[in-house]
A and B are shown apart, each in its own frame.
Chain A
Amino acid sequence: MSEEKISLRINDSVYECDAGMTILEACAKAAIDIPTLCYLKDINQEAACSICLVEVKGAKALVRSCVTPVRKDMEIFTNTPRVRKARRMNLELLLAGHPKDCLVCDRNQSCELRKLAFDMGVRDVRFPKTTKTELPLDTTSVSLTRDPNKCILCGRCVSVCSAIQSVKAIDFSGRGKSSKITTFFDSGLANSVCVNCGQCLLVCPTGAITEKNATGGVWAALSDPKKFVIVEVAPAVRAAIGEEFGLPAGSLVTAKLAQSLRKLGFDKVFDTQFSADLTIMEEGYELIDRIKNKGSLPLITSCSPGWIKFAEHFYSGILEHISSCKSPQQMFGAIAKTYYARKFNLDPRNMVVVSIMPCTAKKFEALRPEMKSAFDYWKDELNLKESEAFYDVDFVLTTREASRLIKEAGINFINLPGEDFDEPLGISTGAAVIFGATGGVMEAALRTAYEVLCGRQLEKIDFFGLRGLEGIKVAEVDIDGLKLKVAVASSLSKARLLLDEVKEGKSPYAFIEIMTCPGGCLGGAGQPIPTDNEIRLKRMEAIYREDKSKSIRKSHENPAVRELYKEFLGQPLGEKSHHLLHTHYKQKEGEF
């Protein structure tokens, strides 16, 4: 059906398009822009905002182009006085109820509503604010803040939460002008099944959903001479933060980023990729152990904190399948405040670990009560009281927040020549870089597992079948006759397909990688806005470019990780690893 072509007229020119298209899609193909606000292709097509109106000959009223299918010989007008007037009126009505504090709004550079108002020539506010009551902010979550006053009820967040993530923590409530988007009994995100993935934030056209700002705490630590402040940077950040400084998507700015963080005043600039290599060692050996000793298979990765909370709510029956490895962020914090502190004779109480993440759920992860391994490690030796307890990771910044620190400090990011990360916790391999893309953890783990199991060099280390933006990717690897089926899922709705099989005991896979956000960490909610599939692909290309440029591309060959095992940890899955690098999961109040 969709193969069928029809011809129609748009603004007096004849075009040909597919029969199944909407007017909006047909116009886009004809290079005619129609402004949209609530529309998100394949995700939110609720026709809520009435900005995309067009005139169709013969139709009594203007039609919403985002949901109206094209017909043969349709005559469409996208730029008539009537269309412009109606679009602008609808926008002005939306603006009437919206706060006007754009100057100090988190989204002031990336607000779609502000941009629309500018593009559509709205230069004054004609209508007074209709709502008198100010709605309370939802500040319960440690990752996200929701300001319903800035919400324009487009419904994108509800659709993403439901269709992409299948979490359904938020929905509309009330009716008419008391409509708002909220959680069950307005009890706040922290008291719901919200997994803090923040995909809602990423699609919000306004500043109604923002990350919890941690920049204040980081500034305070940086200006405290008593503190030894360490920063760790996640893989996906270097492939995206350039966008915040006006560079095109897909720009790799690893060296500039390291240098600008040093200029910010961090005592050491380290890399989460170091602990990503460490994760591969622990997780790889865990996989090998489970295969050899007939443990719970499939083994499922545990790097993505949104997925972990999701599992605790919705799949508590299969928690033993999830790797007990902490995520690279947490492994880094634990190692920095134990191994590194000991090696360089630092008091862990005076150390501050700041992580820069493409993620909002990482803020939640860092504050999980069990993430105090370094404190437990030092407790007896330093005679610490429970009241002195400290977290392994003190502050989590998103990519966007980190760019704000750099801008505020007046660092000319774009023109920096670039520097390397510090040693030893800044040394990493290509296997760690690809953690930032969906399929990357799997590929990195296979590179190591293969060589450990076979005892010889892997010739083709690029697993192209595990790369790309598809929601589910599967592959079969032959390790000396041992055939391993592996699967990779990105986004939680896709993960459900694999998890339901595990739940029923029918999963054919030995190893599953799950990333909460579509595309993996490079599409996380801490990344620059906008993030769409085109941009995700470019960031992904950058990540694989970086992998290729690394001289060492397998985690077990990382010299700093080898040294860590030799000097401190002993061996993967050893006693120290168990206390510092592994964790456990608990069933959470779920729905079903």
Chain B
Amino acid sequence: MKTIKKITLKENDASKACLDKVELDRIISFYAGKPGRLLGILEDAQKLNKHKYLARGDLEYISRKARVPLSRIYNIITFYAFFNLKPQGEHSIVVCRGTACHTRGSKILLDFLINLFGFKEDDFSQDGKSFLTTKDNKFTVKTVACFGQCALAPVVEIDGNIYSRMNSEKLRKIVKGISTLRGKK
């Protein structure tokens, strides 16, 4: 039998508007009349968020102010892997799962991280848009289809920096480094 699930409006804390309206207005007026306006607004809005994601409430505000239909905004933010719809951990680790990186062992790196943080492998779907965040909210692990750095495969991006020719040992050291650095503070 076919399961018919009713879609209901999900309201949680993460969906509430949390950005400063003055800042958002500034971003929206900055991009007024510029090509690629919506992408720019969404990118800056995500950066503005402490947890690096786009909250539903903020998007509704952007829609009204920038006069862009909500459906269009949802189209854009679900198309680009860059945009996050849920709160992100403090540090992001993005494993490239492109062809070049795959042949140079990126699956091993991903499995290593899944083990290290105690995730379940099934939690990752194949669309490249899903991510996992550690319980203490410190790390978020994501995959991406290609960074365009194939010559340096396998590639992992940590907090915006690209690390080339990675292996599990190097990855373990960097992760440990970030954890202890924070611990000392």
Contact = CB atoms under 8 A, between A and B. Distances in A.
Contacts of A134: 2-3
B7 A187 contact: yes
A171 interface: yes
A15 interface: no
Given A168-B69, A174-B127, A591-B64, A182 B74 contact: yes
Given A138-B7, A175-B79, A186-B7, A170 B71 contact: yes
Contacts, number: 81
B7 A169 contact: no
Contact of B7 (A178, A188, A193, A592): A188
Contacts of A175: 78-79, 127, 129
Interface in B113-147: 127, 129
B56 interface: yes
B74 A184 contact: yes
Interface in B58-110: 59, 63-64, 67, 69-75, 78-79, 85
Interface string B138-164: 000000000000000000000000000
Nearest to A162: B69
A170 to B, nearest CB: 6
Contacts of B85: 185
B9 interface: yes
B5 interface: yes
Interface string A210-250: 00000000000000000000000000000000000000000
Given A134-B3, A187-B7, A174 B79 contact: yes
B75 A139 contact: no
A219 B71 CA distance: 38
B4 A168 contact: no
A168 B71 contact: yes
A178 B129 contact: yes
Contact of B4 (A137, A172, A191, A591): A137
B70 A174 contact: no
Contacts of B79: 172-175
Contact of A136 (B5, B63, B78): B5
A272 to B, nearest CB: 32
B6 interface: yes
A136 B70 contact: no
A417 interface: no
A140 interface: yes
A389 to B, nearest CB: 24
Contacts of A171: 69, 71-72, 74-75
Contacts of B64: 591-592
A contacts with B: majority SS? loop
Given A139-B4, A175-B79, A187-B9, A592 B63 contact: yes
A591 B69 contact: yes
Contact of B70 (A172, A176, A178, A184): A184
Contacts of B63: 591-592
Interface in A12-47: none
Sorting the interface of chain A by its residue count into under 10, 10 to 19, 20 to 34 or 35 or more gives 20 to 34
Interface residues of B, number: 27
A178 B127 contact: yes
A184 B7 contact: no
A192 interface: yes
Contact of A137 (B5, B8, B10, B75): B5
Nearest to A137: B4
A170 B2 CA distance: 24
Contacts of A139: 4, 6-7
A338 interface: no
Nearest to A136: B5
A183 interface: yes
A182 B64 CA distance: 19
A174 to B, nearest CB: 5
B127 A176 contact: yes
Interface string A465-489: 0000000000000000000000000
Nearest to B69: A168
Interface in B22-69: 56, 59, 63-64, 67, 69
Given A134-B3, A137-B5, A139-B7, A185 B74 contact: yes
Nearest to B56: A185
A140 B8 CA distance: 8
Contact of A140 (B3, B7, B78, B127): B7
A138 B7 CA distance: 6
A172 B71 CA distance: 8
B131 to A, nearest CB: 15
A183 B71 contact: yes
Contact of A173 (B2, B7, B8, B75): B75
B68 to A, nearest CB: 8
Nearest to A101: B2
Nearest to B78: A173
B96 to A, nearest CB: 17
A540 to B, nearest CB: 32
Of listed B71, B75, B78, B79, residue having the most chain A CB within 10 A: B71
Contacts of B73: 184
Contacts of A191: 9
Nearest to B71: A171
9 contacts: A136-B5, A168-B71, A169-B69, A171-B71, A182-B71, A183-B71, A187-B7, A187-B10, A592-B64
Interface of B: 2-10, 15, 56, 59, 63-64, 67, 69-75, 78-79, 85, 127, 129
Q: Which 7 A-B pairs have CB atoms at the shortest separation, nearest pair first?
A: A184-B70, A171-B71, A136-B5, A168-B69, A173-B78, A171-B75, A188-B7
Given A174-B129, A183-B70, 16 more contacts: A137-B7, A139-B7, A140-B6, A140-B7, A168-B69, A169-B71, A173-B75, A174-B78, A183-B71, A184-B59, A185-B74, A188-B7, A192-B70, A591-B70, A592-B63, A592-B67
